[in-house]
């Protein structure tokens, strides 16, 4: 029987596979292992080791802040960029045996900046005027895409020719001065970081370019007015941050036994924690944050007893815990409005995600839909066993994905912890079944409730967080749960995983047969879909729509945004919890990585790219994610998991053009070419805009009108113009914030907006 | 007892003192104007009253209750309604849905359970109420149009309708006439007067159009550089030389 939907290629690699914590922890300098000098050496080792690790964090964090400030992109992909550089370095040095210097030049000084430049030019440059959420999803896609490409093309099993190369002249050399001994690789990390910091200071202080970058950071609009090309500045800062991240990636590599994407996810999260410490603005504070985190982690690995599972989980998870706490308690992050840019008010209001991501609302008729479903389900029952098994998996996954429809589609929150909800439900039910003989039918309910409880746990403290910060909090939360809680014997059953029975209850209920279980899953999906459908068109759905449109506006008419968001979180976690129980019962066991961070990210990416607003999107996601790898396997493609990541990651490029989701985009395309003409919102918008305009021939776009900043892009006049007649007088302003947003100079940077949800 | 009483509100943004010890009262059913040059702090005062901003000093009482610790939506439920200078419409939703949502919010609907048993679809009564407000504001033709496609003036009317549907005790309007032409402005003035007269709603109006202000308001506050310059019956205040110098800028 084919096993789980195991997905993220890295999830197999244990994250804690560092060389005895860190190198410094193991290397006591020769001859200094006695008496006082041992303590000195200990302390020095701690300082140097912490410093080296902190330097790597600080480097990547600098990259995060640079790109965020100059192009408003929170670049999650930096972790993947660092990974790519490290893999290139490894291949050149260890596999091809090139000289160290040459490998370094290629990996860091060529691949690094080119990757940054390429990402900016092909993807992020166009994203200035889109909602922040879209930028975030694109960055997430790249975070998955790059490692998948590297692994699919040549780096499949990670490095297997010795340990990753350090940037030192002599491997494993230890420099010793008196009681102080420093391993060469740590020394070089520190020196490189000093070099970068000095370089950045010089750049910002003494060069014209640095001055321009600082100006862009202060106010992109002001810069534009002053005639500086903000686009060029962003481009350079992407190259710069790419180089710095590549350096960080190459420096980090020798601290671990092998080069895996998950190690670089940790690096990324640590860097984000440092950047958040610097409030995403201050580079000095960011550096301090990175160093402090390095020290803290080093101290923990020294002084925590290494045998308890909790400690083992906590040590590598420190960055997640720190990031989570910073997001909750670090002053100055919550409710940051755009007060820092003196010209923030001159822009037309930013379009919200609801404006851009306007999707259809599953308007199919009920009767044909029901009949069609019944027919398809009946046909499925005729399928050969293995296919029915797989389709069952797809249905279960679709059920879980409906939790995105609630939380991301309806509430506009991009959550990266849906797998944690599902896992909580699955483990809860499985433990009850194994220890207390609670039938899994009851476990289904319990699983939902456990998921719901975890949902509350994360939603209550993060209520004040907006947009990107909420997403980061959910990412940190998933990592914590995945690393600390799920590996526990009492939760996930340890390395062996848990047996999960099929729903069975002493003769009355028996779903142990694959066919019966299939029907049960279909029923569960139908119920979940019905609930989502009812809620979305009901009061809760409308309130959530309103909040997504304008939270202030919603509160001003008495809608409680917190309550609505908690409701969405609860419902979403409940669905995910039930789905998680079904998923584990489908596989009849759980194993590490089922509900890990890899799946969390991939699930979010797939559902959002396909369409988080619609039930169709969730269904498409479930089927694609289960059946696509089977297709790849059937086609005999080696390393199908990596290729799957490549394909879904590439979906990002489509998403950039169709943020409403691929399913809807295809539907719209079909409708335009083959369907009956039906006036879409977009057309109505155009018509109304034209009706209000002066009686001039509607040229290519309305940029010639006197109120250019407030003029929506008016396309060619459709024949249906005038259908909406009598639009009560002619407003002297035309105003629209939907669609592509008001036309602006192509390089006008968007404000670092925080309310993008 | 006044409906709304703001006592010595102060608010500063970094170095900028946007409001300095501002007092303001509104009696039930009264039509009050608030004028002042650009950047005087009018919008900031509104934001402090509704709770979008937290004043650095001072307190706000509404219907005898201290609002200081009350979140925005609770203040709205108590009967404060407002429109925004920078629009806060629900982009992606139709005009009708704006009204429906406001109507349901007022009737404290919003339970998940109701949705699950199929009470989510708009009832005929709800539709009727939305259409009544649409008619009042001349938006009948536009009810099913997404708000994003409306002109600025119409979008302001949608915000007004949305606020009216929550049946506030005090309606705060931030430059409702901007984006409207002369005729529409006068129409707006008429609508406001009828809302005040028929529903007994008190109105606090921020407006640059002095003609409209003198037409509808009975009392006027003048704000300048964050300080309350004058208050009193509208005609007298507008005629006062200090006010004319500060606000109109020319002393004839
Ligand atoms: N969020 C903010 N951050 C910083 N300064 C602000 C902020 N909001 C308002 N200000 C400043 O406070 C002062 C008062 O602004 P406010 O918008 O209240 O004026 P206003 O009277 O409404 O002006 P207008 O007639 O132009 O609408 C201005 O100097 C403005 O620049
Ligand atoms: Mg104002």
Tens-place pLDDT, residues A278-325: 888 888 999 999 999 999 988 887 777 666 666 666 777 888 999 999
Q: Are residues A320 and A413 in the same domain?
A: no
**Residue B248 confidence class, pLDDT cut points 50, 70, 90:** low
Q: Are residues B145 and B100 in the same domain?
A: yes
pLDDT tens for residues B82-119? Answer: 999 988 999 889 999 999 999 999 887 767 887 887 77
Are B72 and A552 an interchain contact pair (Cβ–Cβ within 8 Å)?
A: yes
- Looking up tokens 């980061």 gives A472
pLDDT of res. A402 = 97
Q: Report the b/e string of A252-279 with b at 16+ CB within 10 A.
A: bbbbbbebbbbbbbbbbbbbbbbbbbbb
The CATH number of whichever domain residue B33 belongs to comes to: 3.40.50.300
The total of structural domains in chain B comes to 2
**Residue A15 confidence class, pLDDT cut points 50, 70, 90:** very low
Q: Are residues B182 and B242 in the same domain?
A: yes
pLDDT of res. A353 = 37
Domain end marker among A582, A603, A626: A626
Asked whether residue A129 is domain-assigned, the answer is: yes
Residue nearest to atom 2 of ligand 1 (CA): A339
Question: In this model, does residue A686 exceed pLDDT 60?
Answer: no
Are A733 and B101 an interchain contact pair (Cβ–Cβ within 8 Å)?
A: no
pLDDT of res. A158 = 64
DSSP string of A556-577? HTT--HHHHHHHHHHHHHHHHH
Asked whether residue A149 is domain-assigned, the answer is: yes
pLDDT of res. A755 = 33
Q: What is the mean pLDDT of chain A?
A: 78
pLDDT of res. A16 = 37
DSSP annotation of A173: -
Asked whether residue A386 is domain-assigned, the answer is: no
Domain end marker among B167, B195, B221: B167
Evaluate whether A573 touches A580 at the Cβ level (below 8 Å): no
Asked whether residue A352 is domain-assigned, the answer is: no
Q: Are residues B248 and B184 in the same domain?
A: yes
Whole-angstrom CA distances from B251 to A116, B212, B220, B239, B242 are: 61, 21, 19, 11, 9
pLDDT of res. A730 = 33
Distance CA A456, CA A562 (A): 12
Residue A50: closest CA among A236, A228, A148, A182:
A182
pLDDT of res. A64 = 93
Question: In this model, does residue A719 exceed pLDDT 60?
Answer: no
| Best of B144, B149, B162 to mutate (most A CBs within 10 Å, chain A) | B149
pLDDT of res. B165 = 93
Q: Report the b/e string of A117-128 with b at 16+ CB within 10 A.
A: eebbeebbbebb
Q: Are residues B252 and B182 in the same domain?
A: yes
What's the B43 CA to ligand 2 centre distance in angstroms?
A: 4
Residue B129: closest CA among B166, B154, B92:
B166
Give the SS3 label for residue A444. helix
Q: Are residues A37 and A146 in the same domain?
A: yes
- Closest partner residue to A689 (CB to CB) among B77, B86, B149 is B149
Give the SS3 label for residue A159. coil
DSSP annotation of A8: -
Evaluate whether B79 touches B170 at the Cβ level (below 8 Å): yes
Minimum mean pLDDT among A381-385, A664-668, B108-112, B232-236: which range? Answer: B108-112
pLDDT of res. B219 = 94
Cα angle value B47/B87/A553 (rounded, 5°):
60
* Dihedral pair phi/psi, residue A411, rounded to 5°: -90, -10
Distance CA A451, CA A424 (A): 6
DSSP annotation of A595: T
pLDDT tens for residues B9-59? Answer: 999 888 888 999 999 999 999 999 999 888 899 999 999 999 999 999 999
Based on its alpha-carbon atoms, the radius of gyration of chain B, rounded to whole angstroms, reads 19
What's the A338 CA to ligand 1 centre distance in angstroms?
A: 13
Q: Are residues A464 and A576 in the same domain?
A: yes
Are A556 and B152 an interchain contact pair (Cβ–Cβ within 8 Å)?
A: no
Q: How close A552 gets to chain B, by Cα (Å)? A: 7
Using CB atoms within 10 Å of the CB of residue A560, give its burial: 0 to 12 exposed, 13 to 18 middle, 19+ buried.
Answer: buried
Residue A96, CB half-sphere, CA atoms under 13 Å: how many? 14
Range of the domain at A476: 397-626
Domain end marker among B113, B144, B167: B167
Asked whether residue A111 is domain-assigned, the answer is: yes
The CATH number of whichever domain residue A317 belongs to comes to: 1.10.3470
Residue nearest to atom 24 of ligand 1 (CA): B38
What's the A410 CA to ligand 2 centre distance in angstroms?
A: 32
The angle, 0 to 180 degrees and rounded to 10, between the axes of the packed helices A539-549 and B95-106 is: 110
pLDDT of res. A715 = 35
Q: Are residues A559 and A415 in the same domain?
A: yes
Evaluate whether A167 touches A100 at the Cβ level (below 8 Å): yes
- Looking up tokens 């166009």 gives A126
DSSP string of A622-648? HHHHHHHHHHHHHTT-SSHHHHHHHHH
Evaluate whether A359 touches A664 at the Cβ level (below 8 Å): yes
Whole-angstrom CA distances from A275 to A65, A326, A339, A720, B8 are: 6, 10, 20, 52, 40
Q: Which phi-psi region, left, alpha or beta, contains residue A715 (left: φ > 0; alpha: ψ -120 to 50)?
A: beta
- Looking up tokens 């340890």 gives A494
**Residue B80 confidence class, pLDDT cut points 50, 70, 90:** very high
Q: What is the mean pLDDT of chain B?
A: 89
The better pLDDT of the pair A357, A542 is held by A542
Distance CA B184, CA A259 (A): 67
Residue A698: closest CA among A711, A685, A715, A712:
A715
What's the B46 CA to ligand 2 centre distance in angstroms?
A: 9
Percent of the residues in chain A that have a pLDDT greater than 70, as a whole number: 76
Q: Are residues A284 and A410 in the same domain?
A: no
Distance CA B223, CA B37 (A): 8
In the structure encoding, which two tokens stand for residue A454, read together?
């975890």
The residue in chain B having the minimum alpha-carbon distance to the alpha carbon of residue A346 is B86
Minimum mean pLDDT among A155-159, A294-298, A533-537, A633-637: which range? Answer: A155-159
The better pLDDT of the pair A115, A380 is held by A115
Which positions 570-599 of A are in contact with B (Cβ < 8 Å)?
Answer: 571
**Residue A741 confidence class, pLDDT cut points 50, 70, 90:** very low
Domain end marker among A282, A305, A335: A335
Are A724 and B114 an interchain contact pair (Cβ–Cβ within 8 Å)?
A: no
pLDDT of res. A334 = 59
Domain end marker among B146, B167, B188: B167
Asked whether residue A59 is domain-assigned, the answer is: yes
**Residue A570 confidence class, pLDDT cut points 50, 70, 90:** very high
Q: How close B174 gets to chain A, by Cα (Å)? A: 13
Ligand 1 pocket, residues with Cβ under 6 angstroms = A 337, 339; B 13, 16, 18, 36, 38-44, 85
B18 membership: H or E segment, kind and range: strand B16-26
Q: Are residues A224 and A302 in the same domain?
A: yes
Whole-angstrom CA distances from A656 to A129, A337, A361, B141, B248 are: 12, 26, 21, 35, 50
Q: Which phi-psi region, left, alpha or beta, contains residue A137 (left: φ > 0; alpha: ψ -120 to 50)?
A: alpha
Task: Give every CB contact of residue B22 below 8 A, 6+ residues apart in sequence.
Answer: B6, B8, B9, B10, B41, B45, B58, B223, B226, B227, B228
The total of structural domains in chain A comes to 2
pLDDT tens for residues A343-369? Answer: 444 444 444 333 334 444 555 577 777
Question: In this model, does residue A140 exceed pLDDT 90?
Answer: yes
Minimum mean pLDDT among A259-273, A409-423, A491-505: which range? Answer: A491-505
pLDDT of res. A155 = 83
pLDDT of res. A221 = 65
Question: In this model, does residue A5 exceed pLDDT 80?
Answer: no
Range of the domain at B94: 88-167
Q: Are strands A504-505 and B16-26 parallel, antiparallel or unpaired?
A: unpaired
Domain end marker among A335, A369, A387: A335
Q: Are residues B46 and B145 in the same domain?
A: no
| A300 lies within 8 A of chain B by CB | no
Give the SS3 label for residue A491. helix
Residue A668, CB half-sphere, CA atoms under 13 Å: how many? 17
Asked whether residue A376 is domain-assigned, the answer is: no
**Residue A745 confidence class, pLDDT cut points 50, 70, 90:** very low
Question: In this model, does residue A744 exceed pLDDT 90?
Answer: no
Distance CA B199, CA B193 (A): 10
Q: Report the b/e string of B74-84 with b at 16+ CB within 10 A.
A: bbbbbbbbbbb
Percent of the residues in chain B that have a pLDDT greater than 90, as a whole number: 57
A539 membership: H or E segment, kind and range: helix A539-549
Are A736 and B149 an interchain contact pair (Cβ–Cβ within 8 Å)?
A: yes
pLDDT tens for residues A590-641? Answer: 887 889 888 999 999 999 999 998 999 999 999 999 989 888 888 888 888 8
In the structure encoding, which two tokens stand for residue A656, read together?
């950039």
Evaluate whether B84 touches B174 at the Cβ level (below 8 Å): yes
Q: Are residues A274 and A406 in the same domain?
A: no
Distance CA A569, CA A456 (A): 7
Task: Give every CB contact of residue A666 below 8 A, 6+ residues apart in sequence.
Answer: none
Give the SS3 label for residue A354. helix
Cβ contacts (< 8 Å) between B163 and chain A: which residues?
556-557
Q: How close B11 gets to chain A, by Cα (Å)? A: 14
Whole-angstrom CA distances from A743 to A350, A710, B150, B152 are: 12, 9, 17, 17
ipTM of predicted assembly, 2 dp: 0.94
Are A354 and B91 an interchain contact pair (Cβ–Cβ within 8 Å)?
A: yes
Are A558 and B13 an interchain contact pair (Cβ–Cβ within 8 Å)?
A: no
Q: Are residues A536 and A609 in the same domain?
A: yes
The residue in chain A having the minimum alpha-carbon distance to the alpha carbon of residue B123 is A538
Q: Are residues A284 and A177 in the same domain?
A: yes
Sign of CA dihedral A573, A453, A457, A426: negative
Count Cβ atoms below 10 Å from residue A7 Cβ, excluding itself. 25
**Residue A729 confidence class, pLDDT cut points 50, 70, 90:** very low
Distance CA B1, CA B62 (A): 10
| A28 lies within 8 A of chain B by CB | no
pLDDT of res. A279 = 86
Residue A550: closest CA among B165, B248, B159:
B159
The residue in chain B having the minimum alpha-carbon distance to the alpha carbon of residue A358 is B92
The winner for highest mean pLDDT among A143-147, A496-500, B121-125 is: A143-147
Residue B204: closest CA among B11, B42, B89:
B42
Distance CA A127, CA A115 (A): 17
pLDDT of res. A159 = 63
Distance CA A112, CA A83 (A): 10
Distance CA A195, CA A102 (A): 19
| Best of A332, A538, A613, A720 to mutate (most B CBs within 10 Å, chain B) | A538
Minimum mean pLDDT among A289-303, A482-496, A672-686, B38-52: which range? Answer: A672-686
Distance CA B104, CA A516 (A): 43
Q: Are residues B217 and B244 in the same domain?
A: yes
Asked whether residue A416 is domain-assigned, the answer is: yes
Residue nearest to atom 22 of ligand 1 (CA): B43
pLDDT tens for residues A28-79? Answer: 333 334 456 677 777 777 888 889 899 999 999 999 998 888 888 889 999 9
The better pLDDT of the pair A249, A696 is held by A249
| A210 lies within 8 A of chain B by CB | no
Give the SS3 label for residue A340. coil
Give the SS3 label for residue A337. coil
In the structure encoding, which two tokens stand for residue A172, read together?
């494993």
pLDDT of res. A224 = 67
pLDDT of res. A512 = 76
Whole-angstrom CA distances from A745 to A270, A497, A741 are: 36, 56, 12
Distance CA B37, CA B247 (A): 6
Minimum mean pLDDT among A285-299, A391-405, A513-527, A688-702: which range? Answer: A688-702
Question: In this model, does residue A756 exceed pLDDT 50?
Answer: no
Q: Are strands B80-82 and B170-174 parallel, antiparallel or unpaired?
A: parallel
**Residue A747 confidence class, pLDDT cut points 50, 70, 90:** very low
B26 strand-pairing partners? B4
Whole-angstrom CA distances from A714 to A29, A541, A688, A710 are: 72, 31, 10, 12
- Closest partner residue to B166 (CB to CB) among A546, A557, A733 is A557
pLDDT of res. B26 = 94
């Amino acid at each position: 029987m084919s096993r789980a939907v195991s997905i993220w290629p890295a999830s197999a690699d244990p994250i804690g596979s560092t060389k005895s914590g860190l190198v410094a922890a193991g290397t006591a300098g020769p001859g200094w292992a006695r008496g006082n000098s041992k303590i000195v050496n200990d302390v020095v080792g701690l300082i140097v080791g912490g410093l080296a690790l902190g330097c790597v964090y600080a480097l990547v964090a600098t990259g995060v802040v640079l790109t965020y400030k100059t192009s408003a992109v929170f670049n999650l992909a930096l972790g993947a960029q660092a990974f790519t550089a490290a893999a290139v370095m490894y291949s050149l040095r260890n596999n091809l045996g090139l000289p160290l210097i040459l490998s370094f030049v290629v990996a860091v000084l060529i691949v690094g900046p080119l990757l940054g430049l390429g990402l900016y030019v092909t993807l992020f440059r166009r994203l200035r005027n889109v909602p922040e959420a879209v930028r975030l999803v694109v960055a997430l896609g790249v975070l998955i895409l790059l490692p998948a490409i590297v692994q699919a093309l040549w780096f499949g099993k990670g490095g297997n020719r010795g340990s990753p190369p350090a940037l030192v002249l002599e491997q494993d050399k230890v420099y010793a001065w008196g009681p102080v001994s420093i391993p060469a690789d740590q020394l070089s990390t520190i020196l490189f970081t000093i070099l970068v910091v000095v370089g950045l200071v010089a750049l910002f202080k003494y060069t014209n370019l640095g001055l321009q970058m600082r100006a862009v950071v202060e106010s992109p609009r002001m810069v534009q007015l002053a005639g500086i090309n903000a686009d060029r500045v962003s481009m350079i800062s992407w190259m710069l941050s790419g180089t710095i991240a590549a350096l960080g990636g190459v420096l980090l590599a020798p601290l671990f036994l092998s080069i895996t994407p998950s190690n670089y996810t940790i690096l990324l999260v640590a860097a984000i924690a440092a950047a958040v410490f610097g409030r995403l603005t201050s580079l000095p504070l960011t550096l301090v944050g990175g160093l402090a985190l390095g020290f803290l982690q080093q101290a923990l690995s020294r002084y925590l007893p290494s045998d308890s599972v909790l400690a083992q989980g906590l040590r590598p998870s420190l960055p997640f815990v720190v990031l989570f706490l910073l997001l909750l308690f670090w002053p100055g992050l919550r409710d940051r409005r755009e007060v820092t840019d003196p010209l923030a008010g001159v822009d037309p209001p930013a379009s919200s995600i609801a404006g851009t991501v306007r999707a259809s609302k599953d308007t199919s008729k009920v009767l044909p839909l029901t009949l069609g479903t019944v027919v398809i389900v009946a046909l499925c029952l005729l399928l050969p066993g293995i296919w029915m098994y797989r389709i069952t998996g797809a249905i279960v996954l679709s059920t879980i994905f409906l939790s995105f429809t609630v939380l991301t589609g309806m509430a506009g929150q991009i959550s990266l912890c849906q797998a944690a909800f599902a896992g909580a439900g699955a483990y809860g039910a499985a433990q009850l079944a194994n220890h207390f003989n609670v039938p899994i039918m009851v476990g289904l309910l319990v699983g939902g409730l456990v998921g719901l409880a975890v949902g509350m746990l994360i939603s209550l403290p993060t209520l004040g967080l907006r947009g990107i910060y909420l997403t980061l909090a959910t990412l940190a939360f998933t990592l914590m749960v995945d690393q600390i809680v799920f590996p526990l014997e009492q939760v996930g059953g340890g390395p062996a995983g848990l047996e999960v029975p099929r729903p069975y209850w002493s003769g009355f209920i028996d779903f142990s047969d694959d066919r019966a279980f299939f029907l049960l899953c279909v029923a569960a999906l139908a119920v979940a879909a019905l609930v989502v459908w009812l809620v979305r068109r009901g009061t809760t759905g409308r309130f959530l729509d309103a909040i997504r449109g304008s939270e202030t506006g919603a509160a001003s008419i008495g809608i409680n945004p917190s309550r609505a968001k908690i409701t969405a979180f609860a419902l979403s976690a409940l669905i995910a919890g039930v789905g998680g129980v079904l998923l584990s019962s489908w596989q009849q066991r759980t194993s590490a990585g089922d509900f890990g961070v890899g799946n969390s990210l991939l699930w979010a990416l797939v559902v959002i790219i396909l369409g988080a607003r619609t039930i169709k999107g969730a269904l498409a996601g479930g089927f694609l994610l289960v059946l696509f790898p089977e297709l790849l396997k059937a086609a005999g493609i080696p390393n199908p998991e990596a290729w799957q990541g490549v394909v879904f990651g590439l979906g990002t490029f489509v998403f950039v053009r169709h943020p409403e989701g691929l399913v809807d985009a295809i539907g719209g395309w079909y409708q335009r070419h083959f369907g009956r003409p039906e006036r879409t919102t977009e057309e109505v918008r155009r018509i109304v805009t034209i009706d209000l305009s002066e009686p001039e021939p509607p040229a290519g776009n309305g940029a010639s009108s006197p109120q250019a900043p407030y003029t929506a892009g008016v396309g060619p006049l459709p024949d249906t113009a005038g259908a909406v007649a009598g639009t009560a007088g002619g407003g002297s302003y035309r105003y629209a914030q939907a669609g592509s947003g008001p036309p602006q100079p192509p390089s006008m940077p968007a404000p670092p907006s925080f309310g993008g949800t | 007892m006044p409906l709304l009483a703001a006592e010595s509100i102060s608010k500063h943004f970094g170095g900028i003192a946007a409001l300095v010890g501002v007092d303001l009262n509104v009696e039930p059913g009264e039509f009050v104007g608030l004028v002042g040059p650009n950047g005087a702090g009018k919008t900031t005062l509104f934001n402090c009253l509704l709770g979008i901003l937290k004043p650095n000093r001072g307190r706000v009482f509404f219907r005898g209750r201290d609002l200081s610790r009350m979140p925005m939506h609770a203040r709205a439920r108590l009967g404060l309604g407002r429109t925004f200078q920078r629009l806060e419409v629900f982009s992606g939703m139709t005009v009708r849905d704006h009204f429906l949502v406001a109507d349901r919010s007022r009737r404290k609907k919003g339970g998940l359970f109701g949705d699950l048993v199929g009470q989510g679809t708009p009832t005929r009564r709800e539709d009727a109420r939305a259409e009544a407000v649409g008619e009042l504001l001349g938006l009948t033709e536009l009810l099913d149009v997404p708000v994003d496609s409306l002109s600025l003036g119409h979008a302001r009317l949608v915000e007004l309708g949305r606020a009216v549907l929550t049946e506030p005790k005090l309606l705060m309007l931030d430059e409702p006439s901007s984006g409207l032409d002369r005729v529409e402005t006068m129409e707006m003035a008429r609508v406001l007067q009828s809302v005040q007269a028929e529903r007994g709603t008190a109105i606090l109006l921020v407006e640059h159009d002095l003609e409209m202000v003198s037409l509808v308001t009975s009392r006027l506050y003048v704000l300048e550089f964050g300080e309350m310059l004058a208050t009193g019956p509208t005609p007298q205040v507008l005629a006062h030389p200090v006010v004319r110098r500060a606000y109109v800028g020319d002393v004839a």
